Amino acid sequence: MKKIVVFGSGMVGSAIAIDLNKQYDVTVADICETNFEKLQRQQGIQLVKADVTNSTALSAVIKAADLVISAVPGSIGFNTLKNVIENKKNVVDIAFFPEDAFKLDKLAKKMGVTAIVDCGVAPGMSNLLLGYHNKQMSVETFECLVGGLPVKRSLPYEYKAPFSPSDVIEEYIRPARFVENGKIVTRAALSDPELVEFESIGTLEAFNTDGLRSLIKTIKVPNMKEKTLRYPGHIDIIQVLRETGFFNSNAIDVNGQKVVPRDLSSQLLFKLWRLEPDDEEFTVMRIRISGMENGKPKSYIYSMLDRFDMETRTSSMARTTGYTCTAAANLFLEGKYQRKGINPPEFIGEDSDCVDYVLQYLAHRNIFYKRIEKND
User: How big is the CA angle at 308 (ends 6 and 148), to the nearest 5 degrees?
Assistant: 80
> What is the C-alpha separation between 127 and 120, in angstroms, rounded?
10
Buried b (16+ CB within 10 A) or exposed e, 214-243: bbeeebebebbbbbbbbbeebbeebbebbe
User: How big is the CA angle at 213 (ends 171 and 130), to the nearest 5 degrees?
Assistant: 120
Contact in structure between 175 and 210 (CB atoms under 8 Å):
yes
Q: What letter does residue 309 receive in the DSSP assignment? A: B
SS3 244: helix
CATH 3.40.50.720 fits 3-120+316-367, yes or no: yes
Asked whether the CA dihedral 143, 216, 362, 147 is positive or negative, the reply is: negative
**Per-domain boundaries in the chain:** 3-120+316-367, 125-307
pLDDT by 10-residue block (mean), the chain, 376 residues? 94 94 95 81 89 94 97 93 98 93 98 97 97 97 97 93 80 94 96 96 96 95 97 96 95 94 92 86 98 96 97 93 98 97 98 98 98 92
> What is the C-alpha separation between 230 and 171, in angstroms, rounded?
13
State the architecture of 125-307 in CATH terms.
2-Layer Sandwich (3.30)
How far CA 350 is from CA of 118, 273, 325, 331, 360, in Å, comes to: 16, 37, 17, 14, 17
Q: What letter does residue 118 receive in the DSSP assignment? A: S
Q: Which helix (H) or strand (E) holds 106?
A: helix 105-110
> What is the C-alpha separation between 135 and 104, in angstroms, rounded?
25
SS3 112: coil
Query: What per-residue confidence (pLDDT) applies to 34?
Result: 77
Kindly report the backbone phi and psi dihedral angles of residue 369, in degrees, each rounded to the nearest multiple of 5, phi listed first.
-105, 100
User: How big is the CA angle at 320 (ends 47 and 326), to the nearest 5 degrees?
Assistant: 50
User: How big is the CA angle at 148 (ends 146 and 154), to the nearest 5 degrees?
Assistant: 135
Contact in structure between 231 and 153 (CB atoms under 8 Å):
yes
Question: Which is it for strands 3-7 and 67-70: parallel, antiparallel or unpaired?
Answer: parallel
Contact in structure between 146 and 285 (CB atoms under 8 Å):
yes
Q: Could you please report the per-residue DSSP string of 45-69?
A: -EEEE--TTSHHHHHHHHTT-SEEE
